[in-house]
Amino acid sequence: MNRLLSRRTMLRGAGGVALTLPWLESLAPKNARASDAVRKRFLPIFLPNGAAELWKPETPGSGSGWQLSSVLQPLTALKSKLTVLTNLENYSAFNSKDAFPKVEPSHGRQPGGWLTCMDPETVRTQLKVGEANIPSVDQRIAKFLATQAQLPLPSLQVGLSTAFSYCDGQPCSNSRSISWDYSNHPLYKLVDPLEVFNQLAAVATPSTPTGSGGPDPALLKRVALNKSVLDAALANTNATRLRLGMQDQQRLDEFLTALRAVEVKATQASAGMGGLACTPIAKPTMSDPNKPVNNNDYARQNSATYYKGTHADVMNDLIVMAFQCDATRVISYMLEDERSEFTYDHVTRRTFTQTGSTEVGGTCPAYHNGGQHGTQDDFASITWWNVGKVAELCSKLDAIKEENGQTLLDNTLVMFGGAMHGSNHNCSELPMVLIGGGGGTFKTDQHVVFQQRWLRDLHHTVMTRMFGMSGPDVDGFGMERADQPKTEIKEILAV
């Protein structure tokens, strides 16, 4: 094990507080070299319902030979650090032969194969159980990284869902989760920002989506008294500061200020959605996902206490915090459940051409029925907003310099895409953008158009080339197809 990577500075305090600090040169082992500390992170970001047609750039190419499409233009400042992949397919995972792009029920099946390249129904049949899948690629990577470094969290699953979504008659684990562990169980996302913060601060026993288990009593007391985790770790913080040089003292102060700001935003967002910070006498409507409205639909919209943009912003900050502090190196992020009916009334309608878009006023409808199955402009407006939030996250990652001289984004692979094409529900021509260099593994600033390429090959390439994995976890990944052996995608590799 790399001793440099296994050593980490913690701020400890009462109530189980154990804050992992970012890299501080003053506390590094004397014989440490910056080149020894390259920490590669993996961040798959799931886009529900596919993407609007104008997602695809007009021409393939690299450098100045290609341009982002209008739907992807929020990523313009990061163009030099991304690759768009066109004509990836995953229907091969659902059909043993004579594969056809249409996989039904699409919302209920396709997301279950996005990080596994396996039909969950096949696994359930083999095991004779009601809910199962093979371990997803993020969990295989997390298992491998556990042999390389001691991480506080092997992985983290987060998302922006606010209410239960329709599951198309399939097990809801197919469309409400994208990560699966080695016990054939789904790893459901945390949507309450305060739950995520407290996992990172090691002050809570995380509660499950079904409500079993619960937060640490010390956490509830701290929230009720409006106390910060920094208060609990004050003595340890002061002692650590005395060990630092002037520049590192400034870095520590900047980090602690930013951490407190994230804690405040997470607490406020949690209260607004009826999470851990919610008081019984002021429970917001958003906290009741099963409250029927309008023809037995469910309440899914912004409200007086909940705003989707704020939820996304604080989750972005938490992801940055997790990676910067090396609390984990694997995070899966669902921007929504697959068949999301959330009303995007916070997004202004736009009209789109191949090269640009213009605001036209008014607000967008529900993501699925009025968005995916409405006009392409409405669908593109919602997609454009989601792309913008991913761009903001990646820009924050790119603003943080690491000890190897690269940015946090340079050392990360953000895999941003969806499980279906778009309005046609096909499991082909999948939207996919790779952002970041994966620690020097991948080429960037290009649009690669395949004749047709299985999504499994992308996951295989990430495991073998970015992380240097081999053995059963690589060989046993995805549906086995005699006519389609696993192969690395050389077009995306830097060397």
What is the per-residue pLDDT for 209? 43
What is the per-residue pLDDT for 30? 61
What does the mean pLDDT of the chain come to? 88
What is the token pair recorded at 20?
A: 């992992």
Answer whether residue 218 shows pLDDT above 70: no
Answer whether residue 13 shows pLDDT above 90: no
User: Residue 321 to residues 7, 185, 205, 259, 397: CA-CA distances in angstroms?
Assistant: 18, 27, 19, 8, 9
Under a CB-based contact definition with an 8 Å cutoff, are residues 233 and 263 in contact?
A: no
98 or 86, which is more confident? 86
In the structure, what pLDDT confidence band is assigned to residue 411 with cuts at 50, 70 and 90? very high
Q: Which pLDDT tens digit goes with each residue over 197-209?
A: 999 987 655 544 4
In the structure, what pLDDT confidence band is assigned to residue 22 with cuts at 50, 70 and 90? confident
Euclidean distance between CA atoms 283 and 314, whole angstroms: 21
What is the per-residue pLDDT for 172? 92
Answer whether residue 425 shows pLDDT above 60: yes
Nearest by Cα to 96 from 480, 456, 469: 480
Q: Which pLDDT tens digit goes with each residue over 266-294?
A: 999 988 887 777 654 444 444 444 444 44
Answer whether residue 211 shows pLDDT above 50: no
Euclidean distance between CA atoms 474 and 459, whole angstroms: 9
Answer whether residue 378 shows pLDDT above 80: yes
Q: Which pLDDT tens digit goes with each residue over 100-145?
A: 898 999 999 999 999 999 999 999 999 999 999 999 999 999 999 9
Q: Which residues of 254-263 are buried (b: 16+ CB within 10 A; e: fewer)?
A: ebbeebeebb
What is the per-residue pLDDT for 17? 82
What is the per-residue pLDDT for 318? 96
What is the per-residue pLDDT for 19? 83
Q: What is the DSSP letter of 248?
A: H
Answer whether residue 494 shows pLDDT above 70: yes
Domains along the chain? Answer: 3-26+36-492 (3.40.720.10)
Read off the amino acid at residue 362. G
